[in-house]
Structure 1
Amino acid sequence: MSESVTIPKQVNTKNDLDFAFLRELGLKHLESFGSKIWTDYNTHDPGITIMEMLCYAITDLSQRIEMPIENLLASETDNFKKMHQQFLSAVNILPSKPVSALDYRKLFVHIKEVKNAWIVKHEQKIFLNCENHQMSYNAFKVDDDSQKNFTLKGLNDIYIDFEADVEDKDAVFKKVKKLYHKNRNLCEDLVNVCEIPEQHISVCAYLDISPDADEERIQALIIRAIGLYLAPSVSFYSLKQMYDKGYTTDQIFEGPVPFEKGCIDPEDFQGGFVDNEELYNASLRKEIRLSDIIKIIMNIEGVLTIKDISIKTCDGDETNSDPWIICVKENHKPVLCWDKDDEDCKNCSTSIFNFSKGFLPIGVNKKRVIAMLKELELEEQNQLENIKTEDVVFPLGEFSSAKAYTSIQNDFPETYGISRNGLPANANKQRKAKAKQLKAYLLFFDQILANYFAHLSKVKDLLTVDDGLKALYKVNAISELSEANKQTYFSQTVTDIPEIDELVDTANYNANLIKIFNNLKNDTTNSAENTFYERRNQLLDHLIARFAERFSDYAFIMKMIYGDANAKYEILKAKTKFVEDYKTISCERGIGFNYCDPEVWDTENVSGVQKRIARLIGVTDYSRRNLLGDAIEIYDEKDKTEDNLTEYRWRIKNGDDILISSSKHYHALSDALKELFLAFELAKSTEHYELKKTKTGRTYFNIVNPKITDKQSEDFIVARRIAYTATQEKSEQKRDEIIAYLKDLSAYEEGLYLIEHLLLRPDTYNAANADKKPKTPKSQIPDAPAQTFMPSCLDGDCESCGPTDPYSFRVSVILPGWTTRFSNKDFRNYTEKIIREEIPAHVLARICWIGHVKGVKPDAENDMLQMQLKYKLFLEQLQIKCANHPLREAEITTYRNVLSDFIQTFNNIHTIYHSGNLHDCDNDATETKGNKIILGRTNIGNL
Structure 2
Amino acid sequence: MADTPLLLNFPAALPPSMDFAALLAEAMGYAQDASGDYWTDYNEHDPGLTILEQLCYALTDLGLRGQYEMTELLADERGVIARDTLFTGDQILTCAPLTANDYRKLVYDSVHGLKNFWIEPVEGMPGLYCGWIEQFRWGDKDKLVAQVTAILRANRTLCEDIVSVEVLKQQSLKLAGVLELSPGSDPDEVMGTLLFYLDWKLLPAPMPSAIEAQIDAGQAREQIYEGPRLAYGTIDDAGLVERPATVNLAQIARVVQAVPGVRLLSGLHFVSREDVDGDVLTLKDHTVPFIDIPPQGGPWPFELRDSSGASVLPNAERVTRVFNQCYVDGRARESAVKRSTDSLSYRRLPSGRYLDVQRYHSIQHQFPVTYGLSRYGIPDDFQWQAADAEAAFSQPGSGPAAVKRAAQVKQLRAYLMLFEQVLANAFAQLANARWLFSLRPPEAHSYFAQSLVDNPQADFPDPDAVGELLRDLRAEDRERHGHRAVSLRISHPHRPALRAIWPGTLAERQSRLDEVLSYGSRARHYRHRQAPDGKWIFVLVNVHGMEIAEGELRADSQEEIEREVLEVVYLLERIRREPAAHARHVRLEPHGRDETREPTVAQSYLAKLERLMAQFDPYPQRHNAFLDHLLARFNERFEDDLLQRFDPRPAADDRFLTELASWKSSFLMAYPRASSRRASGFDYSFKIAKAMPFGSGLEHRLYSLLGIGGPQRFARYPQSRARLTARHPGYHYHREGHAAEGMGPAEEERALVFEASHPGLFAHLLRYGTDLARYRIRPERGGWSWELSFLSPGGTWHRLHHSDDAERLKALRNRLVAWLQPDGAAWQHLFDGEGLYVLEHILLRPLAQPLAKDDGFYACRISVLLPDWPVRFQNDEFKRFAERLVRENCPAHVQADCYWLSFAQMERFEHRYEAWASAKYKSVHDAHQEYQALDERSGSLREFLQHLAQQSESS
Partner of 2:181 in structure 1?
209
**Is structure 2 residue 896 aligned with structure 1 residue 845?**
yes
Counterpart amino acid of 2:290? V
Change (3 A) 1:49 1:86: same
Partner of 1:693 in structure 2?
none
CA contact (8 A) 1:757 1:811 kept: yes
Query: In 1, Cα distance between the equivalents of 2:372 and 2:404?
Result: 12
CA contact (8 A) 1:832 1:847 kept: yes
From 666, 675, 682, the counterpart of 1:577: 666
Query: In 2, Cα distance between the equivalents of 1:582 and 1:647?
Result: 43
Partner of 2:131 in structure 1?
158
Compute the displacement of 1:112 (Å): 4.8
Counterpart amino acid of 1:541? D
Partner of 1:457 in structure 2?
431
Per-residue deviation, residues 856-907 of structure 1 (Å, max 9, x unmatched): xxxxxx322211111111111111222224434xxx4433433333332222
Query: In 2, Cα distance between the equivalents of 1:866 and 1:884?
Result: 27
Change (3 A) 1:427 1:532: farther
Alignment of 1:860-871 (within 5 A): 862-871=904-913
Compute the displacement of 1:398 (Å): 0.5
Query: In 1, Cα distance between the equivalents of 2:739 and 2:905?
Result: 24
Q: Secondary structure at the match of 1:746?
A: coil
Change (3 A) 1:360 1:577: closer
Counterpart amino acid of 1:36? D
From 627, 649, 658, the counterpart of 2:724: 627
Change (3 A) 1:384 1:280: closer
CA contact (8 A) 2:24 2:52 kept: yes
Per-residue deviation, residues 802-852 of structure 1 (Å, max 9, x unmatched): xx4210111001111222222222222221121112111221111111214
Compute the displacement of 1:499 (Å): 3.0
Q: Secondary structure at the match of 1:537?
A: helix
Compute the displacement of 1:233 (Å): 2.5
Query: In 1, Cα distance between the equivalents of 2:954 and 2:220?
Result: 47
Change (3 A) 1:635 1:672: farther
Partner of 2:315 in structure 1?
365
Per-residue deviation, residues 716-752 of structure 1 (Å, max 9, x unmatched): 999767999xxxxxx9xx999x56x766733341110
Partner of 1:806 in structure 2?
857
Counterpart amino acid of 1:559? R
Counterpart amino acid of 1:173? V
CA contact (8 A) 1:202 1:338 kept: no
Alignment of 1:179-194 (within 5 A): 179-194=151-166
**Is structure 2 residue 443 aligned with structure 1 residue 443?**
no
Partner of 1:755 in structure 2?
839
Alignment of 1:771-920 (within 5 A): 804-852=855-903, 862-888=904-930, 892-909=931-948
Counterpart amino acid of 1:304? R
Alignment of 1:922-941 (within 5 A): none
Change (3 A) 1:895 1:211: closer
Query: In 2, Cα distance between the equivalents of 1:848 and 1:17?
Result: 61
CA contact (8 A) 1:849 1:912 kept: no
Per-residue deviation, residues 387-445 of structure 1 (Å, max 9, x unmatched): 33425244311011111102212332232233344446426444333322212211111
From 582, 589, 609, the counterpart of 2:698: 609
Counterpart amino acid of 1:107? L
Query: In 2, Cα distance between the equivalents of 1:744 and 1:294?
Result: 78
- TM-score computed with the length of structure 2 as normaliser: 0.69
Partner of 2:58 in structure 1?
57
CA contact (8 A) 2:85 2:669 kept: no
Counterpart amino acid of 1:14? P
Compute the displacement of 1:554 (Å): 4.5
CA contact (8 A) 1:850 1:910 kept: no
Per-residue deviation, residues 684-741 of structure 1 (Å, max 9, x unmatched): xxx9999xxxxxxxxxxxxx999799xxxx99999767999xxxxxx9xx999x56x7
Q: Secondary structure at the match of 2:722?
A: coil
Per-residue deviation, residues 572-623 of structure 1 (Å, max 9, x unmatched): 3332332222122113212111112232744564211110122112214775
Partner of 1:264 in structure 2?
none
Counterpart amino acid of 2:469? L
Per-residue deviation, residues 277-305 of structure 1 (Å, max 9, x unmatched): 36413x42333332233233333333333
- TM-score computed with the length of structure 1 as normaliser: 0.70
CA contact (8 A) 2:833 2:869 kept: no
Counterpart amino acid of 1:749? G
Compute the displacement of 1:755 (Å): 0.4
Q: Secondary structure at the match of 2:82?
A: helix
Change (3 A) 1:722 1:31: closer
Q: Secondary structure at the match of 1:40?
A: coil
**Is structure 2 residue 536 aligned with structure 1 residue 536?**
no
**Is structure 2 residue 366 aligned with structure 1 residue 411?**
yes
From 278, 281, 284, the counterpart of 1:322: 278
Give identity over the alignment, percent: 24
Partner of 1:273 in structure 2?
233
Partner of 2:17 in structure 1?
16
CA contact (8 A) 2:121 2:129 kept: yes
Compute the displacement of 1:58 (Å): 0.9
Query: In 1, Cα distance between the equivalents of 2:435 and 2:24?
Result: 33
Partner of 2:465 in structure 1?
499
Alignment of 1:1-12 (within 5 A): none
Query: In 2, Cα distance between the equivalents of 1:101 and 1:370?
Result: 35
Larger mean CA deviation between 353-362 and 843-852 belongs to: 353-362
Q: Secondary structure at the match of 2:266?
A: strand
From 418, 428, 446, the counterpart of 1:488: 446
Q: Secondary structure at the match of 1:813?
A: strand
Partner of 1:198 in structure 2?
170
In structure 2, stretches of 5+ residues that fail to align are 1-10, 381-396, 454-459, 474-600, 713-717, 774-789, 802-809
Higher relative contact order, chain-length normalized (CA < 8 Å, sep 6+): 1
Between Structure 1 and Structure 2, which shows a larger proportion of helix residues? 2
Change (3 A) 1:688 1:14: farther
Query: In 2, Cα distance between the equivalents of 1:414 and 1:656?
Result: 86
Q: Secondary structure at the match of 1:26?
A: helix
Per-residue deviation, residues 187-237 of structure 1 (Å, max 9, x unmatched): 111222221122222332223333333233222232222222222233444
Larger mean CA deviation between 673-682 and 592-601 belongs to: 673-682
Change (3 A) 1:580 1:339: same
Query: In 1, Cα distance between the equivalents of 2:829 and 2:954?
Result: 28
Counterpart amino acid of 1:555? D
Q: Secondary structure at the match of 2:885?
A: helix
From 531, 536, 549, the counterpart of 2:636: 549
CA contact (8 A) 1:447 1:494 kept: yes
Query: In 2, Cα distance between the equivalents of 1:162 and 1:581?
Result: 36
Partner of 1:334 in structure 2?
289
Alignment of 1:668-687 (within 5 A): 669-670=755-756, 678=764
Counterpart amino acid of 1:396? S
Counterpart amino acid of 1:311? F
Compute the displacement of 1:450 (Å): 0.9
Change (3 A) 1:763 1:611: same
CA contact (8 A) 1:252 1:273 kept: no
Query: In 2, Cα distance between the equivalents of 1:29 and 1:896?
Result: 82
Q: Secondary structure at the match of 1:326?
A: strand
Counterpart amino acid of 1:38? W
Change (3 A) 1:689 1:568: farther
Query: In 1, Cα distance between the equivalents of 2:450 and 2:951?
Result: 56
Compute the displacement of 1:88 (Å): 1.1
From 291, 297, 306, the counterpart of 2:256: 297
Per-residue deviation, residues 458-513 of structure 1 (Å, max 9, x unmatched): 11111121245xxxxxxxxxxxxxxx51x112111123443334434344322332
Q: Secondary structure at the match of 2:38?
A: coil
Query: In 2, Cα distance between the equivalents of 1:110 and 1:91?
Result: 15
Change (3 A) 1:40 1:274: closer
Counterpart amino acid of 2:914? K
